[in-house]
Chains A and B, each alone.
Chain A
Amino acid sequence: MAAFSDLNILHMENVSTKEKLLMAIKLGYEVVAINNYVENVLVKDDKGKSKKEPSKVVEIPAPVKVHLTERDIGDLKVKGASLKQLSRFTTVLSDPGQWRRMQEDDIQAYDLLAVQPTTEKLFHMACTAIEIDIITFNIGDKLTYYLKPAPVSKAIERGVHFEIVYSEGFHSSSRRTFIANALRIMHVTHGKNVIISSGAREAMDVRGPYDVANLGLLIGLQEPQSKDAISTNSRACVLHANTRHSVKSVISVRSSSELKAEDQWTVEACRKEASEESGDDSSESAAEEADSSFDAARPESKRRRMDGV
C-alpha cells in the first residue's frame, strides 16, 4: 500500500490553494498534485484553426508550490506523516499539433502531465503515442466517443492512468453523466490503472480517502482496487512521471560520485565482486545487493535464505 494521494487539486486564481491543501492534510492525504488547467496550449486564429506563432504563444503558468508553515503541517508531523506536493499540467487535447507544444520545457517542467482528449482519434493518440501520465475526461458531460479496449490496453501497458474526478458527482445536473461515464471507464479498464481524484475547486470539495475508496465500490471497482485507486495507482502514476523526466527506461545510470552516502555500499560491493573469484557466497550476495540499487520498477527478487549459522 502507498500513501493516500489526491492528484487533482485545481489551482484557481481567486480561490486559496493553500486552504485546499490544508483540508487535504486534515483528511489524511500525504501526496497532492496542484493542477494547472489550461484549456488550449495553442492560440486560435479567426477561422478557428489553431496556429502557433512566436508572438502569440499561450503563456503557460509556472508550476505552483504552496508554502506551508510548521504550524500548518504540525498535526501531520505529530501523526508521523509528511506532505509531498507535486505539480500537474492538464490541457484539453483537441488538436494533434498541441502535442508538439506540450513537449516544450515550460510544460515539461511539471511533474505530471494530463490530457483530456475530445475525439476518438485523439484518445487513441493519447493512449498509444504520446508521453503523458494521465488521461482525464470531462466526466460531468456526455462522452462524445467510445472507449475502445485496444487503445486502453495499450495505455495500461505503457503506464498511463485514467482519471475519474469525483467532484463532478456533486451537482445533480452532472451526477447521472458522471456515474455513466465512470462505469464506462471501469468496464473498459477492468479497474486497472484508474485513479480517483477530487478536482477540488474549493476546500469543501475534498473528501477523505476512505470516502473516496468507497466511491470506487459504487462505480464498480472491487474492494482492493478501490483503495488502490487513491494510493497504489497514484504512486505508480507518479513513478511513471519520474521515468519521463529521467531517461527513457526503468534503469538510470549515474556516476558513483553522485551517489548518496547511504548508497555508497553498492560501489564497494561491485568492486568486491570484480576482484574475487566467482563461487564465493559473500560476493554472490554482494552482487545481488549491488543489483538492487539500480532498479526503479524491478519485481521482487529472490533473496538468499539467511540462516543464522
Chain B
Amino acid sequence: MLRPLIVSFREGVAYRAKGNLLWLLHRISGLGIVVFLGFHIFGMSMAAFNPALHERALELYKTPPFAIGELLLAFLLIFHAVNGTRIAILELRPQLWEKQELATRLSLIITALLTAPTLAIMAYKSISHFLAH
C-alpha cells in the first residue's frame, strides 16, 4: 500500500521540473495535515476515554517544539488550501492553462500574504505565553 507513495516521492525528488516542486510540497503539506488530524482526533478522544492522558497531551501542546510545529502546520494548511484552489480552477477551466505560470506565482504570493500575519500573531501569542510562564 505504501509502495506508490514511496515511489512517487522518490521519483518526485529525482525529477527536476517547476511543477514537480509544487506537487511535492502539495503532497507533503497534505500528508502533514492528515498526520496532524490523526493526532488531534486521537488526543481529543482521550478526553472521554483517558482524561489523565488528555491533560498530559494538552501540557505537551504548550511546549516550544509543538508551538513551532503549530507554525509549520499553519503554513502547510494555507499553502495546501491556496495551491489546491489553483489546481481546482485549472482543472475546471483547461482553457486557462496558458496562465498557469501566473497562477502559480499568484498562489505563492497569496500564500505568503496569508501566512505572514498568521504566523506573526501565532508566534507573538506563543512567545507571550512562554515569557509569562
A binds B: no
* Chain A residues with a Cβ under 8 A of chain B: none
